Chain A
Amino acid sequence: MKIQNDARYAKSDEWVRVEGGVAFVGVSDYAQGKLGDVVFVGDISVGSTLKAGDVLTSVESVKAASDVYTPVSGKVLEVNHEVTAKPELLNSDAFGAGWLAKIELSNPDELNGLMSATDYAEYRKE
């Protein structure tokens, strides 16, 4: 199971990483392993305002469909069109090229309520 050390994690297997004042959001390597080959990533509307825990999008594999919940509140600034066109990026590079959305944080304190990389690795230890 790959883990990104500078990211924070939600119990529902989403990660968030702040880079240059903007939050990148995606699903963890553990989550993509459980899903299997991803075949579809649903639309996300740029400009929409979300609360932590809202449904960001849904992700589909051949045998499952999962809702992805945003771990942080804020406005969606950008959507990763590469991953919509090539959903397999979510499997191969869940923390890198497989990012889903860039969010402008409305409440940066929320990050403290999420798990650290170590805690998440413990939580998902098999």
Chain B
Amino acid sequence: MTLYEKSVAGRSAFSFGFEEDRAAAEACVPEFAHATVKPLPQISELDLVRHFTNLARTNYGVDTGFYPLGSCTMKYNPKINERIAADPRLTVRHPLDDATDNQGVLQMEFELKESLQEITGMDDFTLQPACGAHGELTGMLIIHAYMRDHDAKRTKVLIPDSAHGTNPASASMAGFQVVTVPSNERGGVDMDALDKLMDDTVAAIMLTNPNTVGLFEENITQIAELVHARGGLLYYDGANLNALMGLIRPGDLGFDVVHLNLHKTFATPHGGGGPGAAPVGVKKFLADYLPIPVVVCRDGQYTLDENRPHTIGRMSGFYGNTAVLARAYVYIKMMGRDGLLATSRAAVINANYVKALLGPYFPPAYDRPVMHETVLSAKGYDKYGVTLLDISKRLMDYGYHPPTIYFPHFPPYAEEVMMVEPTESESKETMDLFCDALIKISQEAKENPDLLLSAPHDTVVTRVNETYAARHLVTSHRDKKGT
């Protein structure tokens, strides 16, 4: 039942000391006021609390259990980050208030910028983008503006077939034509194909490294040399940075533009889909194109600098998701140099461990050590009439969130692959128990496939009908009243 369905006329959860005359206020704007009160719930505070408390209990989060979603980096969200981000001295700040009154906030943002520069090997950063896709759009707009000024015939962007869907969508939104580069049998970029495609109409190549199948792009230095030699730029999708911190830096590998996902690598919570934050880093020659304003420090004073002669403009109303930046800032400061290295090291060991345990039952897509995530195939189970979707729904009965399924989509594994990313947050016991459960399910697939086909059984709702939702579109309470 929704809040509207629980409403009773006359109930209220609100307590506020109004001081002014409501009728007089209504009379101020008669021709623009909505004639009637717009319908919202009328509910008591206890009912409101029970409503959302019980809804929260039906949700599975990192705090609930193992969440091995490949490429999402569902690591632990430290509670000290939450406490600090809720600090009223931060939350009360108005963005348009004078910089002299916001030295503390600006210092935090500047120090964060410097840390990210060091971690990635880039020269400057914008903290404005709100999430990965927004960061990609920002980075690609920077490249688009640069090419408009230097070589306007470069209208194409090369993107591997394994790339996350946001990559081509962002490139397209930034005004580019997308050209797909196939992967080779080792899971990396096909160098012969790249050689043929990389010409003087290509502005850039977008790469994720490790890529979306959890493999380090072995030829990255050659790719960078080739693309640069022919006048193109390299864009780094930082979704998988959790494998590399303290070991290798995208800036040193030749990337010109980088975006990071603070809600992945830097432990800020996912919140059911956001908010996140995706700072974008650039090499010096692109710094003038960054969106404004940029946090700078002059003579110990922090300010918001709008003097970027070639700025692409603004990507949002203000400066970025400050409360999210604060969480990442605290995480980086608490991990420090050694902690970040230990994080990536543990993430890589954990992924290879899970691959070793599950490999005999779900063959790895590639016969190579992986980075922070592993791609495993469920193709053999279709002979029992069972798909990867069924396996993932059955995992819920064992109390787990399934790994990422049906991504990436590309041959030779086509659709039946899952991406498992344990992260460094998980203990050996947790991983052992999870793998035991998956192995048990692989047995059930052979012996009792119906258990999988009818799964999940133990969740608050059973398999939800997506076709029904699309064919009988109800996206609001008003829609329901209408039908």
- Do A and B touch directly, given a CB cutoff of 8 Å in the complex? yes
B471 at the interface (CB under 8 A from A): yes
Residues of B433-483 whose CB lies within 8 A of A:
466-467, 469-471
Bound-state CA distance A63–B466 (Å) is 9
Residues of A58-94 whose CB lies within 8 A of B:
60-63, 87-88
Nearest Cβ distance between residue A43 and chain B, in whole angstroms?
17
Nearest Cβ distance between residue A89 and chain B, in whole angstroms?
12
A37 at the interface (CB under 8 A from B): yes
Residues of B16-46 whose CB lies within 8 A of A:
none
Nearest Cβ distance between residue B404 and chain A, in whole angstroms?
14
| Cβ contacts under 8 Å, A39 to chain B | 467, 470-471
Bound-state CA distance A60–B469 (Å) is 13
Number of interface residues of A (CB under 8 A): 10
A40 at the interface (CB under 8 A from B): yes
Bound-state CA distance A120–B141 (Å) is 44
Nearest Cβ distance between residue B51 and chain A, in whole angstroms?
29
| Cβ contacts under 8 Å, B470 to chain A | 37, 39-40, 60, 62
Nearest Cβ distance between residue B406 and chain A, in whole angstroms?
8
Nearest Cβ distance between residue A104 and chain B, in whole angstroms?
32
Nearest Cβ distance between residue A44 and chain B, in whole angstroms?
20
| Cβ contacts under 8 Å, B469 to chain A | 62
Nearest Cβ distance between residue A118 and chain B, in whole angstroms?
26
| Cβ contacts under 8 Å, A40 to chain B | 470
| Cβ contacts under 8 Å, B466 to chain A | 62-63
Scan A43-64; emit 1 where CB is below 8 A from any B CB, else 0: 0000000000000000011110
| Cβ contacts under 8 Å, A62 to chain B | 466-467, 469-470
Bound-state CA distance A37–B470 (Å) is 10
Residues of A29-43 whose CB lies within 8 A of B:
36-37, 39-40
Residue of A nearest to B470 (CB): A39
| Cβ contacts under 8 Å, A61 to chain B | 467
Bound-state CA distance A39–B470 (Å) is 6
| Cβ contacts under 8 Å, B471 to chain A | 37, 39, 87-88
Bound-state CA distance A87–B466 (Å) is 15
Bound-state CA distance A61–B471 (Å) is 10
Nearest Cβ distance between residue B257 and chain A, in whole angstroms?
30
Bound-state CA distance A63–B471 (Å) is 13
Residues of B350-374 whose CB lies within 8 A of A:
none
Bound-state CA distance A87–B471 (Å) is 8
| Cβ contacts under 8 Å, A87 to chain B | 471
Bound-state CA distance A62–B469 (Å) is 9
Residue of B nearest to A60 (CB): B470
Nearest Cβ distance between residue A80 and chain B, in whole angstroms?
17
Nearest Cβ distance between residue A59 and chain B, in whole angstroms?
12
- Which residue among A36, A37, A60, A87 has the maximum number of chain B CB atoms within 10 Å of its CB? A37
Nearest Cβ distance between residue B60 and chain A, in whole angstroms?
22
Residue of B nearest to A36 (CB): B467
Nearest Cβ distance between residue B199 and chain A, in whole angstroms?
26
Residues of A83-126 whose CB lies within 8 A of B:
87-88
Bound-state CA distance A36–B469 (Å) is 14
Nearest Cβ distance between residue B468 and chain A, in whole angstroms?
9
Residue of A nearest to B389 (CB): A63
Bound-state CA distance A32–B467 (Å) is 14
Residue of B nearest to A37 (CB): B467
Nearest Cβ distance between residue A33 and chain B, in whole angstroms?
14
Scan B226-251; emit 1 where CB is below 8 A from any A CB, else 0: 00000000000000000000000000
- Which residue among B466, B467, B469 has the maximum number of chain A CB atoms within 10 Å of its CB? B467
Bound-state CA distance A87–B468 (Å) is 12
Nearest Cβ distance between residue A85 and chain B, in whole angstroms?
11
- Which residue among A36, A40, A62, A63 has the maximum number of chain B CB atoms within 10 Å of its CB? A62
4 additional A-B pairs beyond A61-B467, A62-B467, A87-B471, beta carbons within 8 Å, are A37-B467, A37-B471, A62-B466, A88-B471
Sort A-B residue pairs by CB-CB distance and give the 7 closest, nearest first.
A39-B470, A37-B467, A62-B466, A39-B471, A62-B470, A62-B467, A39-B467
Listed by A's residue number, 17 A-B pairs whose Cβ atoms lie within 8 Å are A36-B467, A37-B467, A37-B470, A37-B471, A39-B467, A39-B470, A39-B471, A40-B470, A60-B470, A61-B467, A62-B466, A62-B467, A62-B469, A62-B470, A63-B466, A87-B471, A88-B471
| A residues adjacent to B (C-beta < 8 A) | 36-37, 39-40, 60-63, 87-88
